[in-house]
A and B are shown apart, each in its own frame.
Chain A
Amino acid sequence: MPADDTRTPNAPTRRSATILQVEEVGKRFGGLQALSDVSFTVQRGQIKAVIGPNGAGKTTLFNCIAGNLAPTAGKITFAGQRIDGRPAHEIARLGLARTFQNIKLFSGMSAVETVMVGRHPQTKAGFLPCLCRLPWTRREWRLSHKRALELLDLVEIADHAEKEATSLAFGQQRAVELARALATEPDLLLLDEPAAGLNMYETAELGRLIRKIRDQGVTILLVEHDMSLVMEVSDEITVLNFGQKIADDAPSAIQNHPEVIAIYLGEDDAQGT
């Protein structure tokens, strides 16, 4: 079916192949142009990576997409809707979830509770029904609890469900964050340097997990420094440098892209990969 199929305009969900479209996005902080004229698309079912040296604007780009920052120029379209400048919680409810480079867990909450917070968009109970503990709010709660445990199982830390999330090992904390993001049942998952601080073994496990999540129908956009992980899991890679896109291609092409090699290895060592 063509991407812009308009023959069935009344179909309940019009799933175009492009899930995220970033068009000429710019972000200026005072005198600093952190991003300029960045454009790329993410297709449904893809694993796409954004790479680039420190300060290239990767996290700024993520924050613009997820609503933590408002871009100063350009357009971002997610699943057919403009999302640039909209608040983070609204974007999350549209089906776009994220993890953070510096893990942001909730102190004092167990792993399972943390993941249950991620069920917020999938649940309804408001202040009054909760104050009165209406029976349906309890059913909803039990379902959330069950679902949260399943997700902890998926990220392989089910044994630590009742432990305080912030007391877990670093890699396990990342897993809790991932499960929390998945609990929102996203269509697109943004992972901000998911392998940072993980050892080689854990990184390989993470690669497996990312593919497993994609195979369940979640499109993935990740920012990552770890080249082995990026090359292994990505279908497509966008390269940023000094806030500008310099390449957008398949991993094999990126590996041989002269400008990318220059950035990553320095001009003198352009032979190595």
Chain B
Amino acid sequence: MRPYLPFPFLLCLVVGVQLLTQWTDTAYYLTQLTMAAYYALLVIGLCLLMGYAGQISLGHAGFFGIGGYISAALTTHNLAGVDNSLIRLLERLGLLAASTDMFGDPLLTVHPWAAAAIAILTAVLVAWLIGGPVLKLTGHYLAMATLGFGIIIYRIALATPFFGEADGISEVPPLPLLPGLAISGDFSARVTNYYIAWGLLALGLLLLVNLIHSRIGLALRAIHGSEEAAASVGVDTAKAKLKTFVLSAAYAAAAGIFLTHYNGGIGPSEAGIMKSVRYVAIVAVGGMASLWGALLMAVLLNFLSLRGLFGTYDDAVFGLILIAIMLFAPDGVLRLGIAARLRAWRQAHASR
């Protein structure tokens, strides 16, 4: 039960922060906290891949982009007036949603749920195809190959008219979850969406905490330690790495879908290399093999970034963080503090 102990604290914290913003009349902070929660969803997925299975990805913004862009494009592209057998089939299956645009003209788009499913499946498929050959690489080579993948996705987003080129896609409709509950950036639904985002993040985290404290989690940590030894006890290392990569890509795509519906749009920078570097930096700050550390740092740093604290030097700050972490706290800032304090405490007592 020990790995689950922090969950009640998380609940208290989430509710506490919301109440605090309500009393202090600073509810506008919730917008950034909601967005930060979705970014954190991606980061914990990347943490599983990097910190536990020991495989780096410098292309995770690419999977975020695949999720966000596909759901955005499908839910905004007007199919009204298009008449072919595919559209009719989709309509009969109930996968299309009819509405009217702001000028009252008929709007026929793919239903957000169908779009989200297609987006996730695409990300999973791409991860499967890319991961197969790429995960045979290690270290620098894996980093470079995933970087190459990220660049491709970024350029596709930037160059394809269907994805809005440099402008990206806007006017993405809400994503209904339950009756009366939808992911949307609507001002009146700000508090609800804060809880939705943190609920989804907590659910995503719960699943990963389950995974790492299981047979599969042991196998992944074993692969991180020594692939040869893991294989010697029957672990199919290639398969386990690929499945982890795919799972982690699915988390990134889900984060992209949710955030795109919340923001009502997506732009090419969301799929950019600097975002991928930022996610890797956050996992490193959080302590690599620490889901909770990754989550805290993802929320904190993204919140500060979204509040504009780093100004136009935003990306530079994350670059600096990456350098500083690698130099001074390769195990993450959380562990640095605890370890140093313990050492100081022990020395103080031992010298007596």
Interface residues of B (CB under 8 A from A): 207-208, 210-211, 214-219, 221-222, 224-226, 228-237, 243, 247, 289
Q: Which residues of A contact B (CB under 8 A)?
A: 66-68, 87-89, 92-93, 97-98, 100, 104-109, 113-114, 116-121, 123, 125-127, 130-133, 137, 140-141, 144, 180-181, 183-184
- B214 pairs with A117, CB closer than 8 A: no
Bound Cα distance from A93 to B235, whole angstroms: 9
Q: Which of the residues A68, A104, A117, A125 comes within 8 Å of B235, measured between beta carbons?
A: A117
Find out whether the CB atom of B229 lies under 8 angstroms from the CB atom of A130. Answer: no
Which of B207, B208, B211, B233 is most buried by chain A, counting CB atoms within 10 A of its CB?
B233
The residue on B at minimum CB distance from A103 is: B229
B218 to chain A: which residues have CB within 8 Å?
109, 113, 116-117, 120
Within 8 Å by CB of A109, from B221, B235, B243, lies: B221
Whole-angstrom distance between the alpha carbons of A121 and B219 in the complex?
11
Q: Is B210 within 8 A of A131, CB to CB?
A: yes
Given contacts A109-B222, A127-B211, contact A121 B234 (CB under 8 A): yes
Q: How far is the CA of A66 from the CA of B237 in the complex (A)?
A: 15
A92 neighbours in B (Cβ, 8 Å)? 231-234
Chain A residues with CB under 8 A of B229: 100, 104-106, 180
Establish whether residues B210 and A109, one from each chain, have CB atoms under 8 Å apart when the complex forms: no
- CB of A56 to closest CB in B, whole Å: 22
8 Å CB contact of A181 from B221, B226, B232: B232
- A133–B203 Cα distance when bound, in Å, is 13
A106 pairs with B231, CB closer than 8 A: no
Beyond the given pairs A88-B228, A89-B234, A104-B232, 8 more chain A to chain B contacts, judged by CB atoms under 8 angstroms and listed by A's residue number, are: A104-B226, A106-B225, A114-B222, A117-B219, A120-B234, A123-B215, A130-B216, A131-B211
Q: What residue in chain A is nearest B216 (Cβ atoms)?
A: A130
Q: How far is the CB of B213 from chain A (nearest CB, A)?
A: 8
List the 3 shortest-distance A-B pairs measured between CB atoms, nearest first.
A106-B225, A130-B214, A121-B234
Closest to B207 in A: A131
A45 to B230, CA, bound (A): 26
Contact between chains at B210 and A184 (CB < 8 Å) = no
For B247, what are the chain A residues with a Cβ–Cβ distance below 8 Å? Answer: 127
**Is chain B's interface secondary structure helix, strand, loop, or mixed overall?**
helix
Q: List 28 A-B contacts (CB under 8 A).
A: A67-B231, A68-B232, A87-B236, A88-B231, A89-B235, A89-B236, A98-B232, A104-B229, A106-B221, A106-B229, A114-B222, A116-B218, A117-B218, A117-B230, A119-B215, A120-B235, A121-B233, A123-B215, A126-B216, A127-B211, A127-B216, A127-B247, A130-B214, A131-B210, A132-B207, A133-B214, A141-B214, A181-B233
Contact among A67, A68, A117, A133 with B233 in the assembled complex (CB-CB below 8 Å):
A117
Given A89-B235, A127-B247, A180-B233, A107 and B216 touching (CB < 8 A)?
A: no
Min CB distance B288 to A, Å, is 10
Q: Is the CB of A108 within 8 A of B236?
A: no
Give Cα A113 to B219, complex, Å: 10
Q: Taking the nearest CB of chain A, how far is it from the CB of B267, in angstroms? A: 32
Contact between B289 and A108, CB atoms less than 8 A apart = yes
How far apart sit A125 and B218, CA to CA, in the bound complex (Å)? 11
Q: Across the interface, do A184 and B233 meet the contact criterion of CB distance under 8 Å? A: yes
Chain B nearest CB, measured from A63 CB (Å): 10
B77 to chain A, nearest CB (A): 33
* Complex CA–CA separation, A184 to B229 (angstroms): 12
B216 touches A93 (CB 8 A): no
Q: List B contacts of A126 (CB < 8 A).
A: 216
User: Would B222 and A117 count as touching, CB distance under 8 A?
Assistant: yes
Q: Are B217 and A130 in contact (CB under 8 A)?
A: yes
| Cα distance A141–B16 in the bound complex, in angstroms | 36
CA distance A87 to B227 in the complex (A): 12
Q: Are B215 and A125 in contact (CB under 8 A)?
A: yes
Chain B residues near A183: list those with CB within 8 A.
233
Chain A minimum-CB-distance residue to B240: A127
Which of chain B's residues have a CB closer than 8 A to the CB of A116?
218
Contact B235 A133 (CB under 8 A): no
Q: Which residues in A have their C-beta under 8 angstroms from that of B232?
A: 66, 68, 88-89, 92, 97-98, 100, 104, 181
A220 to chain B: closest CB distance in Å? 16
